[in-house]
Amino acid sequence: MRARKCAVTASIAPMISAARVGKWCWTAPTDTPASAATLRTLRSSAPRVDSTRSTASVMFSRLLRGGEAGESTVVGYGDLVTNTIVLPSSRRLDALDVVRGIAIVGTLATNIWVFSHPWGLLGMLSAPTLPGESAATAQLVLMALAQGKFLALLSLTFGIGLALQHRSAVRHHRRWPGRYLWRAALLFLDGVVNYVLIAEFDVLMGYAVTAAVVSFLLLTRPRAQRAMIFVFGGIHVALISLIVLALTTIPGANVEGTLPEGPSPYADSSFAQLAVFRLDNVGVFRAEPVLIGFLSLAMFLVGAALLRAGVFAAEGGRLRRRLMIAGACAAPVDLVLALTATPAGLLLERYVAAPVVGLGLLGLLVELCHRRGTNGWWTRRAKEIGRVALSCYLLQNLLGGALFYGWGLGLAESLEPWRVPVTVLAFLGITVVVASAAHLWLRRFSTGPVEWLWRAAANLGVRDRPSTASRVQD
């Protein structure tokens, strides 16, 4: 058991006597035999007090009851007792950066096929594989490796980061959600810029709205949050099932569509013209964030729940193994659905099977970080991308447009017959550039350029500089 005493407390004695409790804070893990024995000693030596005599008496009584396995009880004077795990050590936070970095690169593995399609997102929605493409099966397999999995993984890390920020606010007695809503609004603004100027498949706007909603949901009890996960997940599965049912019952609906007639705006338009094109088609391009709204809510809450359950803790091996088993069971189903190449199959793959695979990826990556550490060459590169995730996300999208769109090199149209190998090489090249940029930038600066602008705007009017812990949790 570890005790952390505030300046007013000079010894542990005032905690034993409810009448002499001062301003103190106690953090006590309860998942070890030594902790349990110490708690039994405290129970036997503590005076019996009436629960209505004082707030301190109530808090002390709840402290002695302890938390759940893998958790600790955090008690502050004048506050209600809440069960929560201790903030992970620096190594475990490094594991979170590693997971986030891999999720960012994984989103590029999904989006690169959108960039390389001569008709961009419109083409991917109607005909993901080009007519007569010899490597269509290889493309479907490569797309299945990333499709939806890393979007789910990124959603989980977003929920984990949001839960860490909420925990930091509680620990420092700051109002919640408070200024976090301003931060979410700034993230939405980043998404608007990304959508209009760079990529119509932006996720930041949807994440900003989801984060604002979940910031309020985190004020509820863990049991209520678990119930909301099942409710939101159930609504999402029911919605996707209804769409799939309609596609499979309406004649001619569950077949691959045809590409639009005429020249592609992605091949012929300038940078400004393409921005106007995105604004003209905002209803089509922004349909996915609405479609997966309940899924995003569920995944954010799942991330927060996994953090509370100790998924990053050394003792969380059993939980991580369960996640890996679930992901391994869903992976074959995911691949079969992807190879159907039908709208119904792709819907079920991306929005039902892939999120489960994403959970397995989270368990696998965190387990590897625990077993092999986070100081290897590959994990350091992933960790650097994770530390400047927002900057890397925007950079990789900008590079993808510069390679494939008409305002750049125009490779989507000029190298259309060799789409699959060109797309793979482009993915590898952009990943190398993004990882190198993150490495070189962090050699001189502690935060990414977009992150710096975002935090500067978020902290307008705040006198105190954010602590290191709060910066880690962004």
**Domain, as residue range, for 341:** 90-472
Q: Distance (Å, rounded) from C-alpha 259 to C-alpha 118?
A: 10
Q: How many domains does the chain have?
A: 2
Dihedral sign from CA coordinates of 323, 329, 331, 337: negative
In one letter, which amino acid is 12?
I
- The answer to whether the CB of 93 falls within 8 A of the CB of 472 is yes
Checking if the pLDDT of 19 tops 60, the result is no
Q: Which residues are CB-neighbours of 280 under 8 A, at least 6 positions away?
A: none
In a domain, 5, yes or no: no
Q: Are residues 77 and 102 in the same domain?
A: no
Q: What is the CB neighbour count within 10 angstroms for residue 252?
A: 6
Q: Are residues 205 and 75 in the same domain?
A: no
Q: Are residues 169 and 252 in the same domain?
A: yes
Q: What is the pLDDT of residues 43-99, one digit of tens each?
A: 444 444 443 334 333 333 333 333 333 333 333 323 322 233 334 444 447 999 999
- Pick the closest to residue 212 from 248, 244, 188 (CA basis): 188
In a domain, 4, yes or no: no
In a domain, 2, yes or no: no
Average pLDDT, the chain: 82
Q: Are residues 230 and 282 in the same domain?
A: yes
Q: Are residues 60 and 189 in the same domain?
A: no
3-state secondary structure (DSSP) of residue 27? strand
Confidence at residue 94, expressed as pLDDT on a 0 to 100 scale: 92
Sheet of 72-76, strand order? 25-29, 72-76, 82-84
Q: What is the pLDDT of residues 174-227, one digit of tens each?
A: 999 999 999 999 999 999 999 999 999 999 999 999 999 999 999 999 999 999
* Strand bridging mode 25-29 / 72-76: antiparallel
Q: Are residues 76 and 94 in the same domain?
A: no
Checking if the pLDDT of 405 tops 60, the result is yes
Q: Are residues 262 and 380 in the same domain?
A: yes
What does the block give as tokens for 177? Answer: 């959600």
- The answer to whether the CB of 2 falls within 8 A of the CB of 26 is no
- % residues pLDDT > 70 (the chain): 77
- The answer to whether the CB of 179 falls within 8 A of the CB of 458 is yes
Q: What is the pLDDT of residues 162-186, one digit of tens each?
A: 999 999 999 999 999 999 999 999 9
Q: Are residues 388 and 421 in the same domain?
A: yes
Q: Are residues 43 and 183 in the same domain?
A: no
Confidence at residue 474, expressed as pLDDT on a 0 to 100 scale: 56
Confidence at residue 108, expressed as pLDDT on a 0 to 100 scale: 97
Minimum mean pLDDT range among 5-19, 166-180, 392-406: 5-19
Q: Given 84, 113, 146, which residue is the final one in a domain?
A: 84
Q: Given 44, 62, 84, which residue is the final one in a domain?
A: 84
Confidence at residue 131, expressed as pLDDT on a 0 to 100 scale: 76
Q: What is the pLDDT of residues 304-349, one digit of tens each?
A: 999 999 999 999 999 999 999 999 999 999 999 998 888 899 999 9
Confidence at residue 342, expressed as pLDDT on a 0 to 100 scale: 87
Q: Are residues 409 and 466 in the same domain?
A: yes
Confidence at residue 135, expressed as pLDDT on a 0 to 100 scale: 82
Q: Distance (Å, rounded) from C-alpha 214 to C-alpha 210?
A: 6
- Pick the closest to residue 362 from 126, 153, 119, 109 (CA basis): 153
Task: Give residue 24's pLDDT band: very low, low, confident or very high (50, 70, 90).
Answer: very low
Task: Give residue 4's pLDDT band: very low, low, confident or very high (50, 70, 90).
Answer: very low
In a domain, 63, yes or no: yes
pTM over 0.75: yes
- Pick the closest to residue 455 from 440, 472, 432, 442 (CA basis): 472
Q: Which residues are CB-neighbours of 44 under 8 A, at least 6 positions away?
A: none
Task: Give residue 126's pLDDT band: very low, low, confident or very high (50, 70, 90).
Answer: confident
Q: Are residues 60 and 98 in the same domain?
A: no
In a domain, 7, yes or no: no
- The answer to whether the CB of 124 falls within 8 A of the CB of 319 is no
Q: Are residues 279 and 392 in the same domain?
A: yes
Q: What is the 3-state secondary structure (H, E, C) of 47-104?
A: CCCCCCCCHHHHHHHHHHHCCCCCCEEEEECCCCCEEECCCCCHHHHHHHHHHHHHHH
Q: How far is CA 350 from CA 245, 288, 298, in A?
A: 16, 11, 15
Q: Which residues are CB-neighbours of 408 under 8 A, at least 6 positions away?
A: 401, 402
What does the block give as tokens for 61? Answer: 């009584």
Q: Give the chain's end-to-end CA distance (angstroms, integer).
A: 29
What does the block give as tokens for 209? Answer: 């709205």
